[in-house]
Amino acid sequence: MGLVGNPEKVATRSVARKARALIAAAGRDVLVDAGTAEFVGLSDARFESVRALARECDLLIVLGGDGTILHVARQAAGSGTPILGVNLGRLGFLTASSAANLGRTLDAVWSGQCHVESRPLIEAAGRGRHGPIHEVALNDFVVSHGMVPRLIELEVKVDREVLTSYRGDGLIVSSPTGSTAYSLAAGGAVVSPQADVFALTPICPHTLSNRSVIVSLSSTIEVRLLSERVDTFLAADGQTRAELRAGDWLKVRRSRNTAHLVRLPGSSFFGTLRQKLNWSGSSV
């Protein structure tokens, strides 16, 4: 069993040691990445990166919030290893368990009661200011301005056909999983993870008629920066990855890789929505 923890979370040390004890008590080997081992103080078999760890274990137990899950999902892309998220953050849309319920969650894993849910990854390839771009994301890609709040203009095509030119603070291209992240905050629709679609959501559009657009996940979305003299950046899952200048472009499409998230028996996407967003009908 692989163990990965977020060193920025106060509870990581104690929960990681608890997880290690539970795994060892079940008679299973504990593997960790070097960063987690050093931070928590574990002497178990360690790997230099999460990517290497994912290739050698049959389950990744990830301690943190949604941001930690996103990071690990990108690093584990192509390994096929399921990810069990333990929430040490706030909302925890992608996590399966709280730290308090870790013991019961692992019992459900050992007894085969959990199921694995596949979530599509998306990829962006193109040209940036400093050369070629190739990035993978689970939630979204965001093209937005830098520190100076100036409008940027982006031409967007879907399967080579011009959709529109957006003028505003930027554009979010999200996967179904990412619909409950930045896209939701920017006014986009909530999308079921089983819906094979992209959501294209403008950020503070200058034209009030611009709204979030839903297109097939099999489509290729091309985004070209038209603005000059405005600092513009590409972020993948909230992490800045490249700087763009006028004429630079990106093509976003579905990745051939998927993320595999462990889910507890009885859990559902709509149940999570009701609970996390405090919607009417929630019993929590």
CA 255 to chain centre: 13
Question: Of 88-92, 222-226, 258-262, where does mean pLDDT reach its minimum?
Answer: 88-92
With a cut of 70, say whether residue 23 has pLDDT above it.
yes
DSSP per-residue codes, 223-245? EEE--SSS-EEEEETTEEEEEE-
What are 106-138's pLDDT values in tens digits?
A: 999 999 999 999 999 999 999 999 999 999 999
Q: For residues 149 and 157, is the Cβ–Cβ distance under 8 A? A: no
Question: Of 120-134, 162-176, 264-278, where does mean pLDDT reach its minimum?
Answer: 264-278
Q: For residues 103 and 22, is the Cβ–Cβ distance under 8 A? A: yes
Element (H, E) at 251: strand 249-263
Q: Which residues, 6 or more positions from 206, have their beta carbon under 8 angstroms from its beta carbon?
A: 151, 167, 168
What are 136-162's pLDDT values in tens digits?
A: 999 999 999 988 889 999 999 999 999
What are 44-80's pLDDT values in tens digits?
A: 788 999 999 999 999 999 999 999 999 999 999 999 9
List active site positions.
66
